[in-house]
Structure 1
Amino acid sequence: MRQFSYLRPTGISDAVAALAAEPTAQLLAGGTNLVDLMKYDVAQPSAVIDINGLPLKEIETLEDGAYRIGALTTNSQVAYDAGIARDVPLLSSAILAGASPQLRNAATSGGNLSQRTRCYYFYDPSTPCNKREPGSGCSAIGGVNRIHAILGASDACIATHPSDMCVALAALNATVEVTGPTGARTIPFLDFHRLPGDHPERDNTLQTGEIVTGIRVEGGRFAAHHSYLKLRDRLSYAFALVSVAAALDLDGDTILDARVALGGVAHKPWRDPLAEAELSGQPATRDTFEAFASRLLSGAKGQGHNDFKIPMAKKAIVRALMQAASGRPQVQSEKRVREGESL
């Protein structure tokens, strides 16, 4: 780990000023991602700005029934909040599918959004990686790529975003509140993370000096019909090979609105609002969901070792939507296929 300066601002404006003044500075909240990156010599900040003293640790219920989640709330705090668990259970379930209890107790909501994409080669400074060193090449293309992207990848990067929480927030059309040198603004969640394109070193659309201060998410609408399904190599403490956040608004067996986001398959949580719109007015049946899954994955492309993700993702989408339609969401403490279900 390299030498760095340490700052601990107590006001948001002070934190923004410190971050804007040090282009290579990094924010420290829970540290569950940054500390690892520094230990591996992947992150080399000139300054670490500890923002744990900022007043961003509350979950607020807004007048319209939505929730505002402060950026420094822990993942555990959000998952076990009574209002979130009741009104936004998809978010609670997704968080509980991720990491371990110890990490959830430390990791923050803003940090979860801002974590780096995961890739063997990104974490290994001895190998070329366009995320670490733009223009050096992507070792995963033609290398060991079992965990890598099947959607939205580029010739520069095929890494995947690791978050479970973000997949649910993408499905729920959350918004991200940020503050920077030019003031405060909100970013639609689907616009917050980036696909790699020619600049895989940029994971999100934050501008220089901007800090995530909160997340706003709608409550109640999809509480009855949702499911978060996560498929992984181990039953716990493993990133998703494929995950699905499914949310339905139903009138009997007719779909009024549908939201589906995928994790483990792209550089950001993957959604196709145009495909979702075609589900409106359709019956909530396996045939409907299979046709939707085929469209959602129509552009999927494997890299060899991860070819299996395409049929796995299709089956996972159908299963998650069937769970949501039946009002029987995946229970994260079970981590198994229930009797009568199949993948």
Structure 2
Amino acid sequence: MPCNKRAPGSGCAALQGFNRMHAVLGASETCIAVHPSDMAVAMAALDAQIETTLPDGTTRTIAIGDLRRLPSATPHVETALGHGEMITAVTLPPPPPGRQLYRKVRDRASYAFVLVSVATVVETSGDRIRSARIAIGGVAPKPWRPREAEYVLAGAAAADAAFSGAETALAGAVGRGGNDFKIPLAKRTLRQTLAAAAEGA
């Protein structure tokens, strides 16, 4: 089957074919592959830093949100790593204030790739959300950090914020038939996770 990741320029069989597990955010007309990681989603919400070493011995630090590239017209170029560059460490900054939650929705109870996952960190002050971080997995070619939704949630009433945050986070989602269900599933999962995090913060 044609795959632009494996053979650039060959096409993407999933666009019109079997695409139940594929991306609804951040995809392109050349690739709708999804990033299925669990740990990377949580690390994205925590603003992890990736430390690398290049072949000449020099080192650099990459924000986790900048490590993986969106497919655009070059889906075979998946990361920001250079030729021969190797990841040597992952650094987590001090934990942000607020309650941290991670939820994963999958087809079966164990050993299953994610359909949708959500990592959140929600800090409240009284009955309002002071700050929120969101990362969504299973919906994009990389852990998806919907910054616009985080801005919407900051200062919002905790009782009402989950709905508006979820709608904003999935505003640009596009289904391809078999994966249409991921859009409402991601909204519901995000709403429930945000509400639970705000309640316990």
Q: TM-score range by the shorter chain?
A: over 0.9
Which structure: greater strand fraction?
A: 2
Contact kept, 8 Å, 2:26 with 2:70, in 1: the verdict is yes
CA contact (8 A) 1:226 1:325 kept: no
The answer on whether the counterparts of 1:142 and 1:303 sit within 8 Å (CA) in structure 2 is: yes
Paired with 1:174 and 1:240, the residues of 2 have a C-alpha distance of 21
Mapped pair 1:144 → 2:18: yes
Residue of structure 2 aligned with 1:196, choices 53, 71, 75: 71
Matched, 1:209 2:79: no
Distance of 1:309 and 1:274 partners within structure 2: 20
Where does residue 113 of structure 2 map in the other structure? 239
> 5+ residue gaps in structure 2?
none
User: What is the CA–CA distance in structure 1 between the aligned matches of 2:75 and 2:112, rounded to whole Å?
Assistant: 23
- CA distance in 1 between counterparts of 2:91 and 2:130 reads 23
Equivalent position amino acid for 2:21 in 1: I
1:228 deviates by 0.6
Corresponding position of 1:307: 180
SS of equivalent residue, structure 2 residue 150: helix
- 1:15-94 equivalences under 5 Å are none
Matches within 5 A, 1:320-331: 320-327=193-200
**Paired residue for 2:5, among 113, 122, 131?**
131
Question: Of 165, 171, 176, which residue of structure 2 is paired with 1:298?
Answer: 171
Aligned partners of 2:169, 2:89: CA distance in 1, in Å? Answer: 30
Shift of residue 218 of structure 1? 2.1
Counterpart AA for 1:263: G
Q: Does structure 2 conserve the Cα–Cα contact (< 8 Å) formed by 1:226 and 1:327?
A: no
Q: CA RMSD in A?
A: 1.4
Equivalent residue, structure 2, for 1:220: 95
- Aligned pairs for 1:87-126 within 5 A: none
Deviations 1:122-166 (A, max 9, x none): xxxxx1111100001101111010000100111111010010000
> Of the candidates 104, 125, 135, which is equivalent to residue 230 of structure 1?
104
Aligned partner (choices 269, 284, 288) of residue 161 of structure 2: 288
CA-to-aligned-CA distance 1:292-316 (integer Å, 9 cap, x gap): 1111111101000111111111000
Q: Which amino acid aligns with 1:216?
A: T
Counterpart amino acid of residue 309 in structure 1: K
Q: Deviations over 1:261-289 (max 9, x none)?
A: 1000000011122331232111222x211
Q: Does 2:151 align with 1:277?
A: yes
Under a length normalisation based on structure 2, what TM-score does the superposition of the two structures give?
0.95
Give CA deviations for 1:203-242 in whole Å, capped at 9, x if unaligned.
21101111101111123324x5121111111111101111
- Read off the aligned partner of 1:159 and give its amino acid letter: A
Paired position in structure 1 for 2:52: 178
Bigger RCO (CA 8 Å, 6+ sep): 2
Q: Which amino acid aligns with 1:168?
A: A
Alignment deviations for residues 237-257 of structure 1 (CA, whole Å, 9 cap, x no partner): 101111100111222332221
1:318 to 184, 191, 195: 191
Q: Secondary structure at the match of 2:149?
A: helix
Match of 2:132 among 258, 268, 284: 258
> Quick one: distance in 2 between partners of 1:263 and 1:305?
18
C-alpha separation in 2, matches of 1:275 and 1:227: 17
| Contact 2:152–2:164 under 8 Å retained in 1 | no
Fraction of identical pairs, as percent: 50
Q: TM-score, normalised by structure 1?
A: 0.56
Pair member with larger Rg: 1
Q: Distance in 2 between matches of 1:250 and 1:181?
A: 45
The answer to whether the 8 Å contact 1:156/1:198 transfers is yes
Identify unmatched segments of 5+ residues in structure 1: 1-126, 329-343
